[in-house]
Structure 1
Amino acid sequence: MKILVDMNLSPGWVNYLAASGFEAVHWSAIGRGNESDAELMRWAAEHEHVVLTADLDFSAILAATQRQHPSVIQIRADVLTPAAIGERVIAALRQARDELERGAILSIDAERARLRILPFSA
């Protein structure tokens, strides 16, 4: 699974994910920091990447467009660093790998992970 790390998360996530066997790239290595969320989503879908973010706008984009890709992983925590929540993120990624490759939103907080399959039904 290839992961695109959003600008609102540290580039340190790239190395952390890679150390756990995930191919990852930070948006700053691909596009401009002021690109729209829609542009980031377009790139991720075209290049078959899952988006890792703390931004709730990506779920809203998927709901509004009824698209199935790209999948989105949302981190919902006060501290967004790999040291704070990284183990929880890796465990959830491994558990939901198949669903994320087909199209899903995975929301992760310190207590649990919640998975929703895409596209959203009306």
Structure 2
Amino acid sequence: MKFVIDVNLSPEWVGLLATQGHDVVHWRDIGAIDASDDDILAWAVQEDRIVLTADLDFATAVATRGLRAPSVVQVRAGSTDPSVVGGFVVQSIANAGPALGGGAILTIDPGQARLRPGLGAIS
């Protein structure tokens, strides 16, 4: 899978997800750190990337606008430190598999993950 990590998360997420075989970039390495959520969403769509964020606004935008892309993984755990929650996030992404496409929203709370399939998800 291809990910873009939002600026509100540590760049350490890049290394963690890359070790799992994912293609990962951190937004700070490709865009302005004060870019709007809409700019990041548009770039993610253009580059076919899933947004990994701690910001609820991305999932809200995808859901309320009925977008078919991008998908969003939102980390809502008490900590967003990859050394603390990274293993659970990686496992949750793996469990979602191909369903994490088409505007899906994967919400990761402490000890649980919920997947809302997207409008363009594979049936």
* Same fold, TM-score > 0.5, yes or no: yes
Please state whether the residue corresponding to 2:101 is helix, strand or coil. Answer: helix
Please state whether the residue corresponding to 2:9 is helix, strand or coil. Answer: coil
1:33 alignment partner in structure 2: 33
Per the TM alignment, residue 9 of structure 1 is displaced from its structure 2 partner at its CA by 0.0
2:10 alignment partner in structure 1: 10
Per the TM alignment, residue 21 of structure 1 is displaced from its structure 2 partner at its CA by 1.4
Structure 1: runs of 5 or more not aligned: none
Q: Is 99-108 or 38-47 further displaced after alignment?
A: 99-108
Change (3 A) 1:45 1:14: same
- Compute the RMSD of aligned alpha carbons: 1.0
2:115 alignment partner in structure 1: 115
Per the TM alignment, residue 18 of structure 1 is displaced from its structure 2 partner at its CA by 0.6
**Residues paired across the two proteins, number:** 119
Please state whether the residue corresponding to 2:34 is helix, strand or coil. Answer: coil
| Identical-pair percentage | 43
TM-score, structure 2 as length reference: 0.92
For residues 84 and 10 of structure 2, the distance between their equivalents in structure 1, rounded to whole angstroms, comes to 12
Please state whether the residue corresponding to 1:101 is helix, strand or coil. Answer: coil
Tell me which stretches of 4 or more aligned residues in structure 1 moved more than 6 Å.
none
